[in-house]
Amino acid sequence: MPYESVLNRRGFLGLAAAGATAAVLPGCAGETASSTGGQPRSGGRLRAAFAGGGAAEVLDPHKTSLYVEIARAKALFDKLADYGSDMTPQPRLAERWEPSADLRTWRITLRQATFHDGRPVRARDVLASFARIVEPGSTFRAKSSLAVIDLANSRAIDDRTVEFRLKRPYAEFPNALATIGTAIIPEGTTNFDRPIGSGPFKFSSFAPGRSFVATRNPDYWDGTPYLDELEIVVTNDEAARVNALLGRQVEYAHDLTPTSARTHEQSGQLQVHRLPLSNFQGLAMKVDRPPFNRPELRQALFHLVDRDELVRSVFQGSGQLCNDLYGKGYRYYAGSLPQRNQDLDRARALVKQAGAEGMTIDFDTSEASTGLKEAALAISDQARKIGLNLNVKLGTKDTYWADIAKNGVLASYRSGGMPLESHISQRLLTTSTTNNTKWQRPGFDALYYQAQSTTDEARRAELYLQIQQQLFDEGGFLWWGVSDWIVASASNVNGISAQAPANTLDWARYDKVWLA
């Protein structure tokens, strides 16, 4: 039998811990916090203000990269799975998943759901959606996560059952199903001017860089939304978002600075929601080109940065130290490694060893996300103490992330939450499409593949420790801190999750929000 009962296998506990066991219950990812109490009521329009990307913004859910685009995609579309508040994959359009004993075949049972035009969501739609993402020449962000699927040998068993054949064993395959940019679209979709999804809201209008309006989907499989309408407006100025909220021009403002949050938290004019372990901040050094192709110079920055100062000055009490590794507090995080602290003598010696004394290095940053510019300026000041001139260059907000992916050598970086496995598969493998440090190591790839081929939980944890030790010693990412993600809402807004990190199921989940 290719499919054993997951509940009866001896390997069940290990697979369950990895998120690989059959999943059955919808709506269990996290609880929401009601602000004013009382019973939820239907009606009204919620206006939410986000930073955006100007005329380049898209509605194609496979092209999403900005928070505002992800929020719109979440309103219109569904994925097979999404990340819960603890970063474990939660079932969405997938009612359940079952792996074969060798972890190379996964059977997905779809729940009964319909697209906005009344068509049922079928296995063929799932296969067509994934085929579009991984087609040759595509640059979709989820391509590297789904490339493990052998689509030629995968099949629709019936309308509600998909059998995925994988190219290699993958113990944490549900993480790939939950990846940003894996929305299920109707088979044959090529145009997104008026997109059709299966999400809680139906498309009404869209002006890139300005506004988006959607209306309630009364037939949504996870319950009819309370709101009549959702409007998402764009303003890249954080102060303007806060002022719009205070002036009741909007009811929700995304991405506040710690200063704004502290200023308004006690006023009673708005509600501040701090979403924990959400926004990892750091540096991205490109290891494939001078000067950071010298590991000594990367290590010099590891010893240069004063993480305590950055957390105090940039996060202002709304975050905590990291240790140059992604995913603090998440499953498999290498918390046993000693906390790295500033060591200027060691940093100077490494700069000298790298032949970089007195060197000027362009340092890209932007106001595209809270804290990027402030952190860059602080690190530049610190670098002068070891004889490095980090020339801070302020990039264009609208194109910053695309620009630093291709160009430059050193950049301010940030990331929302995702499982450690997804961070590695999307950003650190030779085949990763968002490999912004250009870290390409066959031996590193082999360790990752070995971790995914084992059902032994203890062994997988050992391999993840080896993976992180490599990154700690000579990687291109320097993660110095993780902050709360701060959003604010009007006092009459209820149902915003109090525990959902950015990029998880209950973040920007407006189908559960209601207005008092």
What CATH number has the domain bearing residue 266?
3.40.190.10
Looking at the structure, do residues 364 and 418 belong to the same domain, yes or no? yes
Looking at the structure, do residues 256 and 289 belong to the same domain, yes or no? no
Q: What is the pLDDT of residue 37?
A: 60
Q: What is the pLDDT of residue 239?
A: 94
Residue-wise pLDDT for 205-253, tens only, equals 999 999 999 999 999 999 999 999 999 999 999 999 999 999 999 999 9
Looking at the structure, do residues 254 and 240 belong to the same domain, yes or no? yes
Q: What is the pLDDT of residue 29?
A: 36
Is residue 335 one of the residues assigned to a domain? yes
C-alpha atoms less than 13 angstroms from C-alpha of 331 in its C-beta half-sphere: 21
Residue by residue, pLDDT tens for the chain (516 residues) are 333 323 223 232 233 333 333 443 333 333 344 455 679 999 999 999 999 988 989 999 999 989 999 999 999 999 999 999 889 999 999 999 999 999 999 999 999 999 999 999 999 999 999 999 999 999 898 998 899 999 999 999 999 999 999 999 999 999 999 999 999 999 999 999 999 999 999 999 999 999 999 999 999 999 999 999 999 999 999 999 999 999 999 999 999 988 899 889 888 889 999 988 888 999 999 999 999 999 999 999 999 999 999 999 999 878 899 999 999 989 999 999 999 999 999 999 999 999 999 999 999 999 988 889 999 999 999 999 999 999 999 999 888 999 999 999 999 999 988 999 999 998 999 988 789 999 999 999 999 999 999 999 999 999 999 999 999 999 999 999 999 889 999 999 999 998 898 889 999 999 999 999
- Rounded alpha-carbon distances, angstroms, from residue 169 to 82, 105, 418, 420, 473: 21, 8, 21, 18, 28
Pairing of strands 45-50, 410-415: unpaired
Q: What is the pLDDT of residue 14?
A: 34
- Per the structure, how many domains does the chain have? 3
Q: What is the pLDDT of residue 458?
A: 95
Looking at the structure, do residues 253 and 288 belong to the same domain, yes or no? no
DSSP-based helix, strand, coil % in the chain, nearest 5: 30, 20, 45
Pairing of strands 360-365, 389-394: parallel
Where in the sequence is the domain holding 394, given as residue range(s)? Answer: 277-484
Looking at the structure, do residues 231 and 259 belong to the same domain, yes or no? yes
Handedness of CA 56, 58, 60, 61 (dihedral sign): positive
Pairing of strands 410-415, 81-83: unpaired
Looking at the structure, do residues 208 and 172 belong to the same domain, yes or no? no
Q: What is the pLDDT of residue 155?
A: 98
- Rounded alpha-carbon distances, angstroms, from residue 480 to 28, 307, 312: 32, 6, 12
Q: How far apart are CA 486 and CA 275, in angstroms?
A: 6
Q: How far apart are CA 354 and CA 290, in angstroms?
A: 11
Residue-wise pLDDT for 14-64, tens only, equals 333 333 334 433 333 333 444 556 799 999 999 999 999 889 899 999 999
Looking at the structure, do residues 283 and 137 belong to the same domain, yes or no? no
Looking at the structure, do residues 393 and 433 belong to the same domain, yes or no? yes
How many residues belong to the chain? 516
CATH code, domain carrying 349: 3.10.105.10
Q: What is the pLDDT of residue 397?
A: 86
Looking at the structure, do residues 304 and 363 belong to the same domain, yes or no? yes
